[in-house]
Each structure stands twice: as C-alpha cells, then as structure tokens.
C-alpha cells in the first residue's frame, strides 16, 4: 500500500516547478490530487504527467487565483463535495516579485508580493481548515524560502512575505494542535529552474555583473555547492504529509544544501 493511499491533497501553484514536483510525488504515493493555479494549460500538463503514473487517482483540476477569495471558496467547496474531505494542504503558490532596493519599489509592487505570497496562503488555509477541524485530522504544509531567514539584497518584499509565512505557520500549529491538525513549513534554498534564473538575472543587473558571474557567486554560498531540485522539496512535503511526521508540528525544515542551518 502506498503511503498516502486514500488521502486527498490540495496543492496550490501545481502547474510548474516546485508545485508540479510536489504533485507528482504525492500522486506516486497514492494521494488524490486537487491541482490549483491560475494557468489552466500548465495545470493540464501536470495532469497529463500524473496520468502516466501507474494506479495514480485522476486529479481534479481547479483554476484558481490566490487573490480571488470567492474563487478559492468555490474551488475548495467543490473539492469537498466530490471527495468529502481534504487531508493535506500544500500552500506552495507564490511569486518572486521584483528585485530592487525597497525605496525603489512601488506600492503596487509591494502589495502584489505580500498579497500573493502571504494573503493568498491565508485565504486558502481559511477555506480548508474548518473541514480539517471537523474531522480532527489534517496536515498543512507551507512552502516558504530561506530568504525569510537569510536576507538577500534587493529582495525585501519577498523576504517579508516569507518570514510572515513562518509566523502564520507557527500560530496555526499552536491553534490547531488540539484538533489533530499538524502545520509545518519548508524553507527551500536556491531551487534550480526558470524562476531562479530570472531572479539571478535581475540581481545581476542591479549589481552590474553578468548573470553567469552572479550564478557562480550564489553557488559559492552553498556548502554542498549545488542548487536544490524541485524534487528535493517534494520529498520534504512527503514527510510532513505522511504519518512519518505524526509527532511533528510547528517545524520549519530547511532544504537548502546548507545555505541556512537554523
């Protein structure tokens, strides 16, 4: 029997990158997936990849904008009507935002980063938690960033949103423990892929160096000397989603190659 057989998992930002890797890993362990995100095309591609996994349940695809509270509620209620429960919530979706000194950010750029990364996770959690309390079980997993712990120049709004996520996670862990709901957090380091490439390019431009040189500078900061893969993050999610972490709540797991050790 696969570890997450008969479990239902909702993943935000499931259409690409870390969210896609998480969704595939959960499906491989037998979980019934609810794939959410704004881009229907990329969600359907994740759906196709999961359909190639032997015995994987067919996911429900739900197009959802993290800033649309009504749309979030509709998606969650539809999932509950179909499956009866949601056992696992992975708050993964977010944006990197603009890389610039704080004083050069517009109010709109600040609001976009905070609303998408922090308010979005609040709205999805708010929609899912009552059903978990009713069943007295569940696992909520936040995907944050080591930037919330180890600041990077020109990344103030991103750092603020991710550190705020840690505070929300710990408070929820305190509030929900009595109901049998566990809440944990993963702080990824530099995760390889187009998103990291874009951030490095922005920072390189601000520092007036080449993206290649900036890439090497970032690699040199990592004790293991390599960027993290989306699949590395997915393995952390499997731990928090499964009974292997049955005694764990309020934890923040670094998956950073040693870039952050606290």
Tell me which of 42, 43, 94, 158 is the catalytic residue. Answer: 158
- Rounded-to-integer distance, Cα 80 and Cα 116, Å: 24
- Is 158 assigned a catalytic role? yes
Place of tokens 């991103």: 158
- Return the SS3 of 91: strand
Residue 38 CA, distance from chain mean position:
15
How many Cα atoms sit within 13 Å of 171 on the Cβ side? 8
Closest CA to 16 of 40, 52, 51: 40
Q: E-strand spans in 50-130?
A: 60-63, 88-91
The span from the first CA to the last CA of the chain, in angstroms, equals 35
Place of tokens 């570890």: 3
Are the CB atoms for 52 and 58 separated by under 8 Å? no
Q: Name the residue among 185, 191, 189 with its Cα closest to residue 256.
A: 189
Residue 198, Cα to own-chain centre: how many angstroms?
A: 18
Spell out the residues 6+ positions from residue 216 whose beta carbon is closer than 8 angstroms to its own: none
Strand partners, 34: 10, 60
| Alpha helices (H) along 208-243 | 211-220, 230-241
Q: Known catalytic residues?
A: 158
């Amino acid at each position: 029997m696969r570890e997450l057989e008969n479990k239902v998992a909702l993943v935000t930002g499931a259409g690409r990158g870390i969210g896609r890797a998480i969704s595939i890993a959960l499906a491989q362990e037998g979980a019934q997936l609810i794939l959410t995100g704004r881009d229907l095309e990329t969600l359907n591609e994740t759906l196709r990849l999961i359909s190639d996994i032997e015995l994987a349940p067919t996911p429900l695809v739900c197009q959802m904008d993290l800033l649309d509270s009504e749309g979030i509620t509709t998606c969650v209620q539809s999932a509950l009507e179909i499956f009866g429960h949601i056992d696992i919530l992975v708050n993964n979706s977010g944006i990197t935002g603009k890389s610039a000194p704080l004083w050069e950010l517009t109010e709109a750029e600040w609001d976009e980063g905070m609303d998408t990364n922090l308010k979005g996770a609040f709205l999805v959690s708010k929609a899912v938690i009552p059903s978990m309390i009713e069943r007295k079980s569940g696992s909520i997993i936040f995907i944050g960033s080591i930037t919330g712990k180890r600041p990077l120049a020109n990344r103030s709004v991103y750092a603020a949103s991710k550190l705020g996520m840690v505070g929300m996670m710990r408070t929820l862990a305190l509030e929900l423990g009595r109901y049998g709901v566990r809440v944990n957090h993963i702080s990824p380091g530099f995760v390889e892929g187009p998103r990291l490439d874009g951030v490095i390019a922005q920072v390189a431009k601000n520092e007036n160096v080449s993206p290649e040189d900036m890439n090497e500078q970032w690699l040199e900061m990592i004790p293991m000397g390599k960027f993290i893969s989306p699949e590395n993050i997915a393995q952390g999610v499997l731990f928090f989603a499964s009974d292997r972490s049955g005694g764990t709540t309020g934890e923040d797991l670094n998956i950073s190659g040693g870039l952050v050790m606290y």
